């Protein structure tokens, strides 16, 4: 569904800096693709380019065959109707002056256009928040009154409000502590099962990627150094860099290499 | 929706009433408001009728702070001057806030060329200095109250434009702005719910703070003889006259100066309390008798959302070049 062909992202600077150096990446429909790499390797640049927030300087991005490279007007509406991005820092990605229920309600009303009145949008928002596990008591609160884990659930609910077929999750658990992280990952697993949504899951943490992803891409200094199915990359890494990443990795909740099929609820 | 607004308003008033500075400054402003409503005519002849036989007297039984050069009671005259002093300064600042805010917001929202040209125009205007700019406006519009208000308004406008521009800029780069764009929030929604709400309280503080500076600026124009003309009078004019006769009766300058000071302090503190009240990040979780806990919450909240504090550099920028 999402295809990146030879995509380059150069920030104008000065001095100009090429953060992504002509990479190829594809997220097949219904699958979850992991993108790993150390901090500064260009992962967020790819995410932002794919969602149309950062200009692409070379190459092509398509979503279900439609060209969405540097989207404007019609292609922007097409992209935003189908793809959503959840940011890394939950405290920064919600408007501090807006109750969280309103933040989700706003997304619902964008998604439904004029079809629903505000009462119905509000109800739909509360349902969504309920579904991602935000307690009722928190719904009328402002972002600073919630924990990072709860906020990340809110951001996920807001993305779901647009019923995306692709979700890009940019280090969504990186700022959370381990037990909260595990609960968010379980929520994402549940969404994978229940919804028809493809995911591009970005992380510098390999254990998280292994837990969620079918395919894995490994990035370094703006270049793709390795790609393959999760089992290939994790069990027989070809590149020294990947091997180094693997041996340096912290573990998620105890024992080291659980596959995505045997980690029980955290 | 309506019940939600209600809750928010209640929380806001609770937050406001829980701050002692808010209550104190509110009471002072209430007192000043009464004086504004009373106006010069509310104080009878003492404020306006001259008595040359008793010119520039020191404090006495019937003139507690003495008289001015024309034998008028200093204290009464100072109270009587409250209306024009505050109204004219507020009008000028309000003008600057609206025009400067709009201009600054539009420049921030514009393309690179608009930003470049707009920024240069603002800088050039600020380069003249407030008083010179004001004098030019007076020269065009004419001497008098109307000219003075417009002059100060125009002189303060680039400061508000610059401030709003930087404020909007600092909000535009936040993650939540990108997030709003990804969700597809309309331009007007982003303007009102994202930019508007996040710049409003900083603008409120600065507007209130600037009223005090507006009073000073009006005084400066009076000092140059370009401000309010007699028989109208304001604190600035009284201060200027009082300074001339300082050795005969210092209170002729000190009393209006004190009123300027009190007003300045009150508007500053009130603006601060108001900004706290409209900012949900600063509401305490529950009404707390434990002040240390309240402070901790506030500190925590501040640490988490740095954009809600005014950048001191920005504030210095705004104050730069003021009389
Ligand atoms: N707006 C920008 N302007 C210039 N350089 C940037 C910008 N955003 C990111 N970079 C640089 O691009 C590189 C990749 O950043 P990023 O995509 O955020 O990496 P990652 O998400 O993998 O940590 C970094 O070196 C970063 O400093
Ligand atoms: Mg990143």
What DSSP assignment string belongs to B37-102? HHTGGGG-GGGT---GGGTT----SSSTT-B-TTS-BHHHHHHHTHHHHHHHHHHHHHHHHHHHHH
* Cα-to-chain-centroid distance, residue A67: 21
Q: Which of A80, A144, A158 has its CB closest to that of B304?
A: A144
B15 min Cα distance to partner chain A (Å): 15
Interface of B with A in 171-210 (CB under 8 A): 174-176, 178-186, 189, 193-194, 197-198
pLDDT for A226 beyond 80: yes
Nearest CA owner, ligand 1 atom 10: A19
pLDDT score at A248: 65
* Distance from Cα A9 to the centre of ligand 2, integer Å: 14
pLDDT for A265 beyond 70: no
Distance, CA of A108 to CA of A101 (rounded, Å)? 10
pLDDT band at B290 (very low <50, low <70, confident <90, very high): very low
Q: Average pLDDT, whole number, for chain B?
A: 81
Q: A54 CB under 6 A from ligand 1?
A: no
pLDDT band at A253 (very low <50, low <70, confident <90, very high): very low
pLDDT for A189 beyond 60: yes
* Cα-to-chain-centroid distance, residue A207: 16
- The residue among A137, A210, A153 whose CA lies nearest residue A187 is A153
Q: Is residue B321 part of a domain?
A: no
Q: Is residue B14 part of a domain?
A: yes
Q: Is residue B121 part of a domain?
A: yes
Buried b (16+ CB within 10 A) or exposed e, B77-108: bbbbbbbbbbebbbbbbbbbbebbbebbbebb
B194 min Cα distance to partner chain A (Å): 7
Question: In this predicted complex, what is the ipTM?
Answer: 0.85
Top mutation candidate among A41, A45, A51 for ligand 1, by most atoms within 8 Å of CB: A45
Task: Give the domain CATH number at B213.
Answer: 1.10.3720.10
B127 CB burial (10 A radius; 0-12, 13-18, 19+) = exposed
Residue of A nearest to B199 (CA): A97
Average pLDDT over residues A169-191: 85
B307 touches chain A (CB under 8 A): yes
Structure-model confidence comparison of residues B178 and A38, the more confident one = B178
Would the CB atoms of A93 and B198 count as touching at under 8 Å? Answer: no
Range of the domain at B238: 2-292
Helix or strand run (H / E) with residue A61: strand A58-63
What is the side-by-side strand order in the sheet with A58-63? A17-27, A2-11, A58-63, A66-67
Q: Is residue B311 part of a domain?
A: no
Place of tokens 């503080």: B205
Per CATH, which fold does A2-265 belong to?
Rossmann fold (3.40.50)
Q: Is residue B130 part of a domain?
A: yes
Which residues, 6 or more positions from A222, have their beta carbon under 8 angstroms from its beta carbon?
A: A18, A19, A20, A21, A23, A41, A42, A45
Helix or strand run (H / E) with residue A85: strand A83-86
A·B CB contacts under 8 A: 80
DSSP letter at A89 equals: -
Residue of B nearest to A93 (CA): B176
SS3 A8: strand
Residue pLDDT, tens place only, B219-269? 888 878 888 888 888 898 898 888 888 888 999 999 999 999 899 889 888
Q: Is residue B297 part of a domain?
A: no
Q: Is residue B323 part of a domain?
A: no
pLDDT band at B3 (very low <50, low <70, confident <90, very high): very low
Chosen from A76, A91, A95 to mutate, greatest number of chain B CBs within 10 A: A95
Cis peptide before B198 (omega within 30 of 0): no
Average pLDDT over residues B43-50: 80
Distance, CA of B147 to CA of B134 (rounded, Å)? 9
The HSE-up count of residue A66 (CA atoms within 13 Å, CB side) is: 17
Average pLDDT over residues A118-138: 87
Token pair in block for residue B72: 């008028």
pLDDT score at B102: 92
Pairing of strands A83-86, A2-11: unpaired
pLDDT score at A208: 81
DSSP letter at B191 equals: I
pLDDT score at A256: 42
Q: Is residue B172 part of a domain?
A: yes
Which residues, 6 or more positions from A56, have their beta carbon under 8 angstroms from its beta carbon?
A: A7, A8, A9, A49, A69, A70
Helix or strand run (H / E) with residue A98: none
Q: Average pLDDT, whole number, for chain A?
A: 85
Domain count, chain B: 1
B174 min Cα distance to partner chain A (Å): 7
Calculate ∠ Cα B148-B149-B154, nearest 5°.
Answer: 95
DSSP letter at A117 equals: -
pLDDT band at B9 (very low <50, low <70, confident <90, very high): confident
Nearest CA owner, ligand 1 atom 14: A42
């Amino acid at each position: 569904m999402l295809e990146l062909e030879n995509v380059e992202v150069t920030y104008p600077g000065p001095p100009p800096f090429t953060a992504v150096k002509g990479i190829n990446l594809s997220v097949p429909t219904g699958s979850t693709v992991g993108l790993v790499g150390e901090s500064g390797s260009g992962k967020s640049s790819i995410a932002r380019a794919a969602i149309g927030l950062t200009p692409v300087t070379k190459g092509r991005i398509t979503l279900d065959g439609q060209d969405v490279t540097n989207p404007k007007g019609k292609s922007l509406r097409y992209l935003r109707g189908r793809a959503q991005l959840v940011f890394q820092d939950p405290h920064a990605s919600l408007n501090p002056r807006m109750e969280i229920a309103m933040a989700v309600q706003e997304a619902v009303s964008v998604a439904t256009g004029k079809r629903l009145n505000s009462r119905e949008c509000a109800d739909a928002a509360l349902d969504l928040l309920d579904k991602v596990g935000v307690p009722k008591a928190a719904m009328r609160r402002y972002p600073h009154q919630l924990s990072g884990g709860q906020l990340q659930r809110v951001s996920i609910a807001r993305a779901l409000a647009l019923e995306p077929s692709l979700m890009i999750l940019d280090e969504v658990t990186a700022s959370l502590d381990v037990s909260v992280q595990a609960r968010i990952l379980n929520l994402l697993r549940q969404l994978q099962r229940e919804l028809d949504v493809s995911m591009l899951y970005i992380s510098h943490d390999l254990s998280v990627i292994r837990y969620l992803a079918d395919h894995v891409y490994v990035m370094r200094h703006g270049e793709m150094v390795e790609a393959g199915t999760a089992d290939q990359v994790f069990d027989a890494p070809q590149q020294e860099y990947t091997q180094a990443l693997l041996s340096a990795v912290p573990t998620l909740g105890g024992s080291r290499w659980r596959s995505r099929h045997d980690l029980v609820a955290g | 929706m309506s019940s939600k607004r209600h809750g928010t308003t209640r929380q806001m008033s609770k937050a406001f009433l829980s701050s002692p500075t808010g209550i104190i400054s509110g009471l002072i402003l209430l007192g000043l408001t009464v004086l504004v409503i009373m106006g010069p005519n509310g104080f009878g002849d003492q404020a306006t009728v001259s008595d040359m036989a008793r010119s520039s007297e020191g404090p006495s039984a019937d003139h507690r702070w003495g008289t001015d050069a024309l034998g008028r009671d200093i204290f009464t005259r100072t109270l009587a001057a409250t209306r024009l002093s505050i109204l004219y300064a507020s009008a000028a600042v309000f003008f600057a806030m609206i025009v400067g805010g709009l201009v600054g917001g539009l420049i921030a929202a514009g393309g690179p060329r608009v930003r470049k040209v707009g920024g240069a125009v603002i800088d050039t205007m600020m380069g003249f200095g407030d008083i010179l700019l004001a004098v030019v406006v007076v020269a065009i519009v004419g001497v008098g109250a109307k000219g003075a208000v417009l002059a100060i308004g125009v002189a303060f406008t680039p400061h508000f434009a610059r401030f709003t521009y930087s404020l909007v800029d600092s909000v535009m780069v936040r993650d939540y702005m990108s997030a709003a764009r990804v969700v597809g929030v309309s331009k007007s929604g982003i303007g009102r719910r994202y930019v508007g709400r996040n710049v409003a309280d900083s603008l409120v503080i600065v507007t209130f703070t600037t009223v005090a500076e507006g009073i000073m600026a009006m005084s400066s124009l009076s000092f140059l003889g370009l401000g309010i003309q007699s028989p109208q009078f304001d604190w600035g004019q009284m201060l200027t006259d009082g300074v001339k006769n300082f050795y005969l009766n210092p209170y002729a300058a000190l009393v209006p100066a004190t009123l300027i000071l009190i007003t300045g302090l009150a508007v500053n503190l009130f603006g601060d309390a108001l900004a706290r009240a409209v900012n949900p990040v600063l509401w305490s979780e529950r009404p707390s008798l434990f002040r240390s806990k309240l402070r901790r919450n506030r500190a925590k909240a501040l640490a988490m959302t740095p954009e809600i504090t005014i950048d001191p550099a920005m504030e210095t920028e705004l104050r730069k070049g003021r009389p």
